[in-house]
Structure 1
Amino acid sequence: MRVLTVCYEYPPIGGGGGVVAAALAAQLVRTGVDVDVVTSRFDHQPWRETLDGVAIHRHACKRRHRHYTSAAELMTTLLPAYNVASRIIKATAPSLIHTHFALPGGLVAWALSKRFELPYVVTVHGSDVPGYNPDRFHLPHRFINRAWRRVMRDAAVVTSPSHYLAGLIATQIDRPVQVIPNGHVVHTTGQRPAKENLVLVVARLFPRKGVQHFLEAIRDHDEGWEYVIAGDGPHMAALREMARTVRPRVRFTGFIPRDELQGLYQRARVFVFPSIKENFPMVLLEAMEAGCAVLTTDADGCAEVVGDAGIVFPAGDTAELSRSLRWLIDHPVACAELGTRSQARAALFTWPRIATAYSEAFGDAMNATAALYDQVK
């Protein structure tokens, strides 16, 4: 099998969707699948390189920030991605196209499918589904809703990381969606490093991520613990200003490389993810795999990831977040037990298991069958 993957962002740029695309591609290569990735070039990245056995082909686009992109900037990826992908198809004859995000990559995959008579698989990630992220993409979705429906309708297979997002799709278009959770890379093996009195938040800094609620929740907390917010985004300045009004000192790391981020996960005793709306947040899996006690909201995707292995509070409820965090700080044994439970649950979402599900979905697409999709529990 040879897979052509289209994803407008790919590490080290972008967020969770790119991380998923890279990890899945690397795992597929380990199983004997050839993978070419078409993605955006940012800053001084090489136009082409091979990482973890994956051939990465970058194209020109307009992009000002490493950690996020605007709807207008996304549109500048369409023609360059199509042209680069066309050359790869002519040279390598892939078995199918796999696009991460229905938009913009789905438009590219749809056009390539028509030209080269190749099946394509769409994996949605959240903001590419109308209604998921109205604070950023409401107007763009209104203008291109017909194109979105065509991309989704003509795909051989559509996958979603969460039942929540699959349900949102079902309210808008009548087609089967296979739920395949995101996976994570296992970093912690054997004896875990000793935890420190560190409360960690990792997020792209948009209002939707709820970091402002975390700062409000710790306003009167003691100064004995370390509080760290890792990530960058347009809400950074406002959050820094807010942090000056809370009692404990809060350290902002900005954007940091993944190896440094992994070190923070390993050190943190408690991980807080206060997002208001999510699909399947990768940072939760990463924190759980590192054995953090997890506090997160009842936003659909968050609760789906942690199950009963974390403490779930109502989104935006700063009082409940504050009480739950104080309880974990005051009960170190219970905090450690919760970290053990979260690590055990994270073991259910390893990439070998998840990649197998994708391989089966790719087989369905190549066979052009009307497969019945079993939901992943």
Structure 2
Amino acid sequence: MRVLILCYEFPPLGGGGAKVVAGLSRQLVLDGHEVDILTSGWKDLPPKETIAGAIVHRVRTIRGRADRTSPLELAAYAISVIPTLRRLLRERSYDVCNCHFIFPDGVLIPLMKRWSDIPIVLTAHGSDVPGYNPERFRLLHAVLAPLWNWVVDRADLIVCPSPTLRRLIVSRRPKARTVIIPNGFDPARFKPSSERVPRILAVSRLFRRKGIQDLIEAFAGLDTPYELDIVGDGPNRQALEKQARASKAPIRFRGWLDNDSPDLKALFETSSVFALPSTAENFPVSLLEAMASGTAIVTTKGTGCADVTGDTALLVEPGDVDGLRAALVRLTTDKALRARLGEAGRLRLQQNFTWSHVAVQYVDAFRRASPDRPPSAALSR
């Protein structure tokens, strides 16, 4: 198949969504498909290059940071990408467009439907779905609700990485065609280390829903030689640093690290515990990274986190600081438990979430979205 992937983030920009696009495109190429990626430009990144066999097209935007974007920047991206998108659709005979994020990329679906008959598979990621992150986006989603409905109704098929996200979408648009396909990961990127240090690791954008404030409070109450390392950046960073200083606990903020950073890889592989106490998640890639590293995990029930880890992690209620502290005590004092959970998590990843598994499901979704469309001259495996 010849596939166009549209996503405003692609490494080195962005977070989990960017990693998903990079992994999926790489595997699709390995499986014999042709892939073009249309995304944001950044500083001195070339406007066009081939990465892992996929052709990456970048458009100039007003994006100010590598790790996150503002609503204004998202809107500007959606406008900036239109000429290149129209040109690619005119010049290339794509079999399908896989559009990532309902906002901002999904708003281009009605235009694509006007320009061509290309089937569109829309992948949702979390904050682009009303109700997923109401603390930050309640007002924005309320204002954009008619546009959100319009976009969702025009997608031929919507990929939901978790049952949690599918429930939110279907609760608002019961007739939406959806399929659950998990995010994938390449476990070979990480190798579990036998030399673990007494460290609890958190890797997250620093928004309140990520629960890092709960983790700091829980960790501050521990009597342990462990330290807490927090990787990531975001609007809550200053408040979290102030909270950490007041606790006088050994907490270090490392800032934002690039997806392919050897420092980030080493942190995952050598930490003893990984913590993600979010109140809402879709299908966090950071959990897959911890599982690939064989690192024991504590995370939250009733969120997309539990969809990822199953019973291979200690699960606590979102916002339950005492429960989180008790789970941290268990993990920091029981080496055998850490080893058992770490091995179980890695096995679960290998059996369910490798890109070779996930890409096959995506290709099936692409074909479901276009059952009567003849294949292009591209490979149609």
Using structure 2 for the length normalisation, give the TM-score.
0.93
Q: CA deviation at 1:65?
A: 2.0
Q: Which amino acid aligns with 1:226?
A: E
Q: Which amino acid aligns with 2:267?
A: L
Contact 1:6 1:109 in 2 (8 A): no
1:59 and 1:189 map into 2 onto residues whose CA distance is 32
Contact 2:190 2:292 in 1 (8 A): no
Match of 2:349 in 1: 346
1:130 and 1:109 map into 2 onto residues whose CA distance is 19
State which drifts further: 238-247 or 261-270.
238-247
Contact 1:49 1:56 in 2 (8 A): yes
Match of 1:203 in 2: 204
Q: Which amino acid aligns with 2:328?
A: L
The secondary structure found in structure 2 opposite 1:367 is coil
The secondary structure found in structure 2 opposite 1:77 is helix
Contact 2:202 2:274 in 1 (8 A): yes
Give unpaired runs (5+ residues) of structure 2.
374-381
1:194 and 1:152 map into 2 onto residues whose CA distance is 48
Q: CA deviation at 1:220?
A: 2.9
1:367 and 1:300 map into 2 onto residues whose CA distance is 33
Match of 2:377 in 1: none
Contact 2:38 2:57 in 1 (8 A): yes
Q: CA deviation at 1:189?
A: 7.3
Q: Which amino acid aligns with 1:21?
A: V
* Aligned Cα root-mean-square deviation (Å): 1.6
1:247 and 1:292 map into 2 onto residues whose CA distance is 26
Q: Can you list the C-alpha shifts for 1:219-274, whole angstroms capped at 9, x where unaligned?
A: 13235223211111111111111111224311111011233212111001110001
Tell me which of 281, 306, 310 is aligned to 2:284: 281
Match of 2:378 in 1: none
Aligned residues: 369
Match of 1:374 in 2: none
1:107 and 1:327 map into 2 onto residues whose CA distance is 46
Tell me which of 327, 331, 334 is aligned to 1:331: 334
Q: Which amino acid aligns with 1:235?
A: N
Match of 2:3 in 1: 3
2:162 and 2:221 map into 1 onto residues whose CA distance is 36
Match of 1:241 in 2: 242
Q: CA deviation at 1:140?
A: 2.6
State which drifts further: 148-157 or 270-279.
148-157
Give unpaired runs (5+ residues) of structure 1.
370-377
1:183 and 1:27 map into 2 onto residues whose CA distance is 10
Q: Can you list the C-alpha shifts for 1:38-97, whole angstroms capped at 9, x where unaligned?
A: 111123322121111111111122222221112222111112212111111222221111
Confirm or deny that 1:127 pairs with 2:127: yes
2:177 and 2:155 map into 1 onto residues whose CA distance is 10
User: For residues 189-268 of structure 1, what are the structure 2 equivalents within 5 Å?
Assistant: 192-222=193-223, 224-257=225-258, 258-259=260-261, 260-268=263-271
The secondary structure found in structure 1 opposite 2:121 is strand
Contact 2:97 2:120 in 1 (8 A): yes
Tell me which of 346, 366, 369 is aligned to 1:365: 369
Tell me which of 297, 300, 304 is aligned to 1:301: 304
**Structure 1 stretches (4+) deviating beyond 3 angstroms?**
188-193
Q: CA deviation at 1:23?
A: 0.8
Match of 1:318 in 2: 321
Match of 1:86 in 2: 86
2:265 and 2:54 map into 1 onto residues whose CA distance is 22
Gap change, CA 1:81 and 1:190, over 3 Å in 2: closer
Q: Can you list the C-alpha shifts for 1:331-362, whole angstroms capped at 9, x where unaligned?
A: 11111111111111111210000000000111
Contact 1:218 1:246 in 2 (8 A): no
2:34 and 2:266 map into 1 onto residues whose CA distance is 32
Q: Which amino acid aligns with 2:365?
A: A
Match of 2:114 in 1: 114
Match of 1:372 in 2: none
2:242 and 2:216 map into 1 onto residues whose CA distance is 11
Higher relative contact order (CA 8 A, sep 6+): 2
2:286 and 2:11 map into 1 onto residues whose CA distance is 14
Match of 2:376 in 1: none
Q: CA deviation at 1:18?
A: 1.2
Gap change, CA 1:134 and 1:191, over 3 Å in 2: closer
Identity, % of aligned positions: 37
Confirm or deny that 1:292 pairs with 2:298: no
Q: CA deviation at 1:115?
A: 0.9
Confirm or deny that 1:37 pairs with 2:40: no
Using structure 1 for the length normalisation, give the TM-score.
0.94
State which drifts further: 72-81 or 185-194.
185-194
Contact 1:81 1:108 in 2 (8 A): no
The secondary structure found in structure 1 opposite 2:247 is coil
1:9 and 1:64 map into 2 onto residues whose CA distance is 13
Q: CA deviation at 1:191?
A: 7.0
Q: CA deviation at 1:188?
A: 5.8
Contact 1:223 1:249 in 2 (8 A): no
Q: Which amino acid aligns with 2:366?
A: F
Q: Which amino acid aligns with 2:343?
A: T
Q: Which amino acid aligns with 2:250?
A: R
Q: Which amino acid aligns with 2:206?
A: L
Contact 2:217 2:321 in 1 (8 A): yes
1:81 and 1:228 map into 2 onto residues whose CA distance is 38
Q: Which amino acid aligns with 2:265?
A: Q
1:12 and 1:116 map into 2 onto residues whose CA distance is 31
1:133 and 1:211 map into 2 onto residues whose CA distance is 15
Q: Can you list the C-alpha shifts for 1:290-346, whole angstroms capped at 9, x where unaligned?
A: 101100011420111111000000111111111111111111111111111111111
User: For residues 54-203 of structure 1, what are the structure 2 equivalents within 5 Å?
Assistant: 54-173=54-173, 174-187=175-188, 192-203=193-204
